[in-house]
Amino acid sequence: MKILVCIKQVPDMEAKFKIDGAGTWYARTDLAWRMNEYDEYAVEQAIQLKEQEQEADITVLCIGGEQVKETIKKALAMGCDRAVHVAMEAVSSLEPLQIAGIIAEFARDQGFALIFTGMQSQDRGSGQVGLLVAEFLTLPAVSTVVEFAYEAGMATVRRELEGGTRACVKVATPAVITCQLGLNSPRYPTLPNIMKAKKKELRTIPAGELLKVAPRQETAKLFFPEKRGGGEVLEGEIGELADRVIQILKEKTTVLS
């Protein structure tokens, strides 16, 4: 059984973002980079499936510049068997359709029984890529999965809906699954596994070989949201801050009376 996991490298969301020179994306300097949170669940689910189906082989795929290799190595250290780095520096200029096109072009005719992606990325957040990969490959897809079980060519999953409701869904493989937060508990790579990962196959393919899809949209402008105003910001020594907060709660709310 062959499994494909698609991951993205994103900045830590606590960073102080700046707009880049072209005004269409965030500047890539002074950021800490990590694996997209949703994709960590995708990687973990693939590995759990391999623990169940011993003969399974997991390929992890990531599109981006040289620096995404760090994130690829993490996925290998978590337990993926081999990696494909689709090399492209200006990856943020691609729209979701093109990202999905690259992945589909790579995956076509490779016989992946399951393709796992995160349900969305933390930076761009379009939530389209996994579903579009399925469309390109004419595979069935289920998005927003919070529970996953597999047996004999059939995946039984739970989709998360609003307000604590879940939908139980069955789909025969091959299929695409997009993973939602909480699907499992992503493992931390252990030191021996980090060492082992260094010997695993990491193939680089130039994005140009796989990019066949033209964009249908582009970013006109990236900007900061207007501050809503009204809110007060308190900074300083914490003892004084606490006194100030209590004073404000007394003035503005009824909870301390």
Partner 1 sequence: MKSLLIAESRQGKVLGGSYELMAFAGELASDTVMFLVGSKEALPAYGGRLYLADAAEVGDYNPEAHRELILQVIAEENPEMVLFCHSSYGWDLAPRVASALGAAQVSEVVALRDGMPVVPVCNGKLRRQVQVATTRRVFTLQAGAFSPSAEPSGTPEVIKMAAPAPGRVEFCGYEQAAVGGVDLGKASVVVSAGRGIGKPENVKMVAELARALGGEYGASRPVVDAEWVEHNRQVGTTGQSVAPKLYVACGISGAIQHLAGMKKSEFIVAINTDRDAPIGEIADLLVVADLKQFVPLLTAKLQAR
List binders of partner 1 among 120-159 (CB under 8 A): 122-128, 131-132, 135-136, 140-144, 158-159
Shortest CB 126 distance to ligand FAD, Å: 12
Q: Is 14 in the site for ligand FAD (CB under 6 A)?
A: yes
Q: By CB under 8 A, name the one of 2, 20, 26, 93 that touches partner 1.
A: 26
Q: Is 235 in the site for partner 1 (CB under 8 A)?
A: yes
**Where does residue 86 rank: exposed (0-12), middle (13-18), buried (19+ CB within 10 A)?**
buried
How many residues of this chain interact with partner 1, rule: CB under 8 A? 77
List binders of partner 1 among 67-96 (CB under 8 A): 95-96
Distance, in Å, from the CA atom of 80 to the CA atom of 128, rounded to the nearest integer, reads: 24
At 6, give phi and psi (nearest 5°): -110, 125
List binders of ligand FAD among 173-202 (CB under 6 A): 181
State the binding partner of 254 from partner 1, ligand FAD, none, CB within 5 to 8 A by kind. partner 1
State the binding partner of 220 from ligand FAD, partner 1, none, CB within 5 to 8 A by kind. partner 1
CA distances from 109 to 29, 122, 204 (A): 38, 30, 19
Distance, in Å, from the CA atom of 226 to the CA atom of 250, rounded to the nearest integer, reads: 29
Which is nearer to partner 1, 76 or 91 (by Cβ)?
Answer: 91
Q: Which 3-state string (H, E, C) describes 52-92?
A: HCCCCEEEEEEEECHHHHHHHHHHHHHCCCEEEEEECCCHH
Shortest CB 39 distance to ligand FAD, Å: 13
Say if CB 129 and CB 91 are below 8 A apart.
Answer: no
Alpha carbon dihedral 157, 135, 114, 173, in 10-degree steps, equals 70
Sign of the torsion formed by the C-alpha atoms of 50, 187, 200 and 179: positive
Shortest CB 219 distance to ligand FAD, Å: 21
Which is nearer to ligand FAD, 143 or 173 (by Cβ)?
Answer: 143
Q: Is 235 in the site for ligand FAD (CB under 6 A)?
A: no
Which residues bind to ligand FAD, rule: CB under 6 A?
13-14, 181
